[in-house]
Amino acid sequence: MATTGVKTYRNYIGGEWVDAVGGETFESTNPATGETIGVFPKSTEEDVDRAVEAAKAAYEGWRLVPAPKRAEILFRVAQRFVDRKDELTELMVQEMGKVRAEAGGDVQEAIDMTYYMAGEGRRMFGHTTPSEMPDKFQMSVRQPVGVVGAITPWNFPIAIPSWKIAPALVCGDTVVFKPATDTPALGERFVEIFEEAGLPAGVLNIVHGGGATVGERLVKHPDVPLISLTGSREVGVKTAQNGAALLKHVHLELGGKNAIIVMDDADLDLAVDGILWSAFGTSGQRCTAASRVIVGTKVYDQVASKLVERAEKLTIGYGLDEGVEIGPVINKSALEKIDSYTGIGKDEGATLLTGGEVATGNGLDQGFFYRPTIFGDVEPDMRIAQEEIFGPTTALIRASDIDEAIRAANSVEFGLSSSIFTRDVNKAFRAMRDLQTGITYVNAGTIGAEVHLPFGGTKQTGNGHREAGQAALDFYTEWKSIYVDYSGKLQRAQIDVVESPAP
Which residue among the candidates 188, 287, 388, 467 is catalytic per the annotation? 287
Task: Give the start-end residues of each E strand in 185-289.
Answer: 204-206, 226-230, 249-253, 258-262
Half-sphere exposure of 428 (CA within 13 A, CB side): 11
The sign of the dihedral angle between the CA atoms of 102, 107, 110, 116 is: negative
For residue 358, the cross-strand partners are: 370
Determine contact, residues 281/260, Cβ cutoff 8 Å.
Answer: no
Q: Is 253 among the residues known to form the active site? A: yes
CA distance 141 to 479: 6
Backbone angles phi, psi at 482, to 5 degrees: -125, 130
Alpha carbon 313 to its chain centroid, in Å, reads: 29
Q: Using only the alpha carbons of the chain, give its radius of gyration.
A: 25
Q: Is 287 among the residues known to form the active site? A: yes
Question: Reduced to 3 states, what is the DSSP secondary structure of residue 162?
Answer: helix
CA distance 121 to 72: 8
38, amino acid identity: G
Which residue among the candidates 253, 312, 348, 379 is catalytic per the annotation? 253
Determine contact, residues 223/147, Cβ cutoff 8 Å.
Answer: yes
Segment holding 108, helix H or strand E: helix 100-120
Q: What does DSSP assign to residue 213?
A: I
Q: Which residues make Cβ contacts (< 8 Å) with residue 119, sequence separation at least 6?
A: 71
Just list the catalytic residues.
253, 287
